[in-house]
Amino acid sequence: MEVAESGEQKKLQKAQITLNDCLACSGCITSAESVLITQQSQEELYNVLQENLRLQQTGEVDKQRVVVVSLSPQSRASLATKYQLSSEEAHQKLSGFFKKLGVHHVFDTTFSRNFSLLESCREFVRRYYEGETNKTSLPMLASSCPGWICYAEKTHGSYILPYISSTKSPQQIMGSLVKDYFASKQGLTPNQIYHVTVMPCYDKKLEASRQDFYSDLYQTRDVDCVITTGEVDKMLEKENVTLGQVEVDNSYSVMSGLISPDGGLRSHIGGGSGGYLEHVMRYAVSQIHGSSVENLQYKTMRNQDFQEVTVELEGKRPIKMALAYGFRNIQNIVQKIKRGKMTYDFVEIMACPSGCVNGGGQIRPTEGQTNNELLDRVKANYNSVACVQPDLWNGVKEVYEDWLGGVDTEKAQAMLHTQYHGVEKTASALNIQW
């Protein structure tokens, strides 16, 4: 009700909020009363698996869809921590769990992150040299966090978007790998594959739903369904097993049938959000200054979620980068850009405080356990995996050549990069009378 100065009461219309109004702030969408996106849930995965089983029983195997699950390393670390397993054990058991349900292939999105990191590095160097003539080349803002992208598009629009890296996130590059490269190698069309990702973040559901990642020709998305770490845990509960009880699947490969196993899990340096700053800085120093740096020194600014790194070489312009996690720090970065006071060349931006290992879709603390205690354990599990430089990973160079025809090709641009769209503010639930 609205009460006027005269005392007259007026009933206001009911506020309605749709997904189009969502800023991906990880607020309401991760609460107990979760907003249900029917195509983005474990129930939809169960429906596909049940349909495959029905088709098998009726002799219509040719109509089945090949089901692929791609696991994120952050989700794996969270589940491993809950069930007191190593990341390697957790991956083998998760693979065994999904395959017992009827999933055909279980992949590791750390492999697709190689391409995201390498493309981000190359894009930064290109923007660095363009900076003399193009004012929106720098700072380059990382693009792998969908919460940040959604916020930028809907709140700051065309002013901020030119600064954002065009490189796709690891999830969406895995979508391209599965629906284009893997499909062609298996003699399948993209719509014959049902691709599920397991992510630490509810906002990844919104990212997968973007029209940019939908094929009109085959009427399918690069990622058909995103389920969170917590939703996988609910699947374990539904099947009445703990992850520790699940039989392991030893046939580990980052992409089975395409990349030969090379001894187990691998990761990247630079923290639980993918290490974008670490890789971009090292590559930039190498390519721009013809030098190398052993250990990057992180300087904490306002808080642990806002850190900067500067590399100074004699006679050369310093290269300065920052980590900005959480919306308070993101807003600070955006305001500095708008005021023309930005001094960073690159910013690794993540919407969640502490980054992806602390995503809204991760396993929550148990009774008597603090969030920080749990987070420290998840980080330790995540960091226990051996790190390898992206260009040295088994299969990366081969896939660049075989799939994309090399680096910086038209197909590489189409498969590994995307674009952003400023959303004009219209009369919506965001400005309705409350």
191-240 confidence digits (pLDDT tens):
999 999 999 999 999 999 999 999 999 999 999 999 999 999 999 999 99
Helix or strand holding residue 413 (H, E): helix 410-416
User: CB under 8 Å to 27, separation ≥6 — which residues?
Assistant: none
| CATH entry, 41-112+169-266+393-413, from 1.10.3720.10, 1.10.1660.10, 3.40.50.1780, 3.30.2130.10 | 3.40.50.1780
Q: What is the C-alpha separation between 91 and 96, in angstroms, rounded?
A: 9
Tell me how many helices (H) and strands (E) the chain has: 14, 13
Q: Please name the residue that has the structure tokens 């674009």.
A: 419
Q: Please name the residue that has the structure tokens 């630490």.
A: 200
Give the strand order in the sheet containing 225-228: 105-108, 66-71, 193-199, 225-228
Is the four-CA dihedral 229, 230, 235, 236 of positive or negative sign? positive
Q: Is residue 418 within 8 Å of residue 212, measured between CB atoms? A: yes
Q: Is residue 291 within 8 Å of residue 285, measured between CB atoms? A: yes
Q: Is the peptide bond before 170 cis (omega within 30 degrees of 0)?
A: no
> Residue 382's CB: how many other CB atoms inside 10 A?
21
Q: What is the C-alpha separation between 316 and 311, in angstroms, rounded?
A: 10
Show the DSSP H helices in 102-166 as ranges. 109-130, 146-151
User: CB under 8 Å to 327, separation ≥6 — which residues?
Assistant: 25, 151, 351
**Best CA proximity match to 387, nearest among 264, 261, 252:** 264
What 3-state class would DSSP assign to 212? helix
Per-residue pLDDT, 13: 63
Q: Is residue 404 within 8 Å of residue 415, measured between CB atoms? A: yes
What 3-state class would DSSP assign to 40? coil
Show the DSSP H helices in 179-275 as ranges. 183-186, 203-208, 229-238
| CATH entry, 115-168+269-358+370-383, from 1.10.3720.10, 1.10.10.10, 3.40.950.10, 3.40.50.970 | 3.40.950.10
Q: Please name the residue that has the structure tokens 């390519």.
A: 287
Nearest-Å Rg of the Cα atoms of the chain is 22
Q: Which residues of 220-249 are buried (b: 16+ CB within 10 A; e: fewer)?
A: bbbbbbbbbbbbbbebbeeeeeebeebebb
Query: Could you tell me the two tokens for 165?
Result: 């890296």
| Residues of the chain falling short of pLDDT 70 | 1-7, 10-38, 252-254, 256-263, 425-434
Q: What is the C-alpha separation between 409 and 403, in angstroms, rounded?
A: 11
Per-residue pLDDT, 429: 43
174 Ramachandran zone, left/alpha/beta (phi>0; psi -120 to 50)? alpha
Residues in a beta bridge with 310: 320
Per-residue pLDDT, 237: 98
Q: What is the C-alpha separation between 411 and 405, in angstroms, rounded?
A: 8
What are the boundaries of each domain within the chain? 41-112+169-266+393-413, 115-168+269-358+370-383
**Best CA proximity match to 288, nearest among 125, 167, 408:** 125
DSSP symbol at 267 = B
What 3-state class would DSSP assign to 70? strand
Per-residue pLDDT, 412: 98
Altogether, the residues listed in the chain come to a count of 434
Per-residue pLDDT, 57: 96
